Amino acid sequence: MAARSQPLLRRVWQQRELPVLDDRLCTGCERCVGVCPTECLALDGHRPWLPRPEHCVSCAACVVICPSAALALARLPSEA
């Protein structure tokens, strides 16, 4: 049964939205990293990045807390 659900799980994963950063707007306040409930965001200098996208639950907490609107959730192109 688990083997049959793999294609469905893969489709759901590929349709998720992940946080995307606009470097031009980011002030480096680091609030997004602190609010992330799954700790999937990390810092590269003073800029957030997503080293563990598989942990992201698309909750948008990082988007909501960003004072400069530098983060947005976006559906990324899926791999075939």
The type of residue at 34 is G
- Alpha carbons within 13 A on the beta-carbon side of 43: 12
Average pLDDT, the chain: 83
Q: For the chain, what percent of residues have pLDDT higher than 90?
A: 62
Residue 80 has pLDDT above 50, yes or no: no
Instruction: Report whether 39 contacts 76 (CB < 8 A).
Output: no
- Single out the residue of 24, 19, 25 nearest to residue 68, CA to CA: 25
pTM: 0.75
> What pLDDT shows up at residue 73?
94
Q: Residues near 29 by Cβ (< 8 Å), separated by ≥ 6?
A: 66, 67, 68
pLDDT digits (tens, 9 = 90+) for 22-71: 999 999 999 999 999 999 999 998 899 999 998 999 999 999 999 999 99
Residue ranges of domains in the chain: 2-75
> Using CA of residue 42, residue 47, residue 53, residue 55, what is the dihedral sign?
positive
Question: What fold, for 2-75?
Answer: Alpha-Beta Plaits (3.30.70)
